[in-house]
Amino acid sequence: MSYDEAFKTLLISSNAKLNLELNHLVIKQDENIAKLFLKDINIIVLESLQISISSALFNAFAKYKIILLTCDETHSINGVFTPFLGHFQSAKIAKEQMNVSAQKKAILWQKIIKNKILNQAFILKKHNKIEQSNELINLAKKVSLNDSKNIEAVAAALYFKTLFSVSFSRDELCFENSALNYGYAIIRACIIRAVCISGLLPWLGIKHDNIYNSFALCDDLIEVFRASVDDCVLKLKGESEFLSKDDKRALISNLQSKINFNGQNYPLNRAINHYVANFKNALLYEDELKIVKFDD
């Protein structure tokens, strides 16, 4: 797959001018100039509000399937630029996707949630929370079609309170949640890119269904990868709700963490590409949805 060539994620946190020059991204900051092959880039995070971009470069981002993330005044990710119609058979694939049966969606969601909970159990075991890890494994066995009993929520409550603290809440304004949200946003961007390239409609989810969400399918697919971010956040030490540049670099570098997919180890960003391709074939055809596992 040609899009597997892209492997770089850029964080631009100070004033800069971005231009296009012979299939290269040119970054000018004061007297410093950097050039990078566009085909090597998969995500760019613009943290500074003082960055200018040429229209020719936007066109090149679309051509090379590069995801652009913007940040607000608090340096939190708040926007995404994504390529449109990234597959030569987009119309055909979209029609097939819209005709997928409710039963198949229910089966796939069951598999996704089982996979998610088992990955959460792996992280707890990795951090010597054996009893709670076993509880999650038992919960995973209870996930039914479409997770009709909402076992996902039961598992999440146990998981996060074990991982961080009994008083922890995902609604709390704290360092852990800031880091989790940032890390999830980076992985979500990779999934958006892979979904657009696959030709699937990113807004047509199998479970998430919100008329205001343009990336519902991507929010379905991120579930099996979330625990990799959780594990990364545990290694960070923050004293406020704000992330340092080093924290952000660590969360971006998590894209290079090892993931086992279909019997092979890949960096996370490439595992996402393979997983989305496999999901597409499982959704539209008769392929089996493979399991995502984390490396020991």
What 8-state DSSP symbol labels residue 112?
Answer: H
Residue 182 to residues 45, 58, 115, 200, 284, Cα–Cα distance (Å):
11, 24, 22, 25, 31
Residue 170 to residues 153, 173, 250, Cα–Cα distance (Å):
12, 8, 21
Q: Is 286 annotated as a binding residue?
A: no
- Other CB atoms within a 10 A radius of the CB of residue 163 amount to 20
8 Å CB contact between 85 and 262 = no
Q: Is 288 annotated as a binding residue?
A: no
- In 3D space, the residue among 160, 121, 165 whose CA is nearest the CA of residue 143 turns out to be 121
Q: Is 87 annotated as a binding residue?
A: no
Annotate 260-283 with b (16+ C-beta within 10 A) or e (fewer): bbeeeebebbbbbbbbbbbbbebb
Annotated binding site for Mn(2+): 152, 208, 223
Annotated binding site: 152, 208, 223
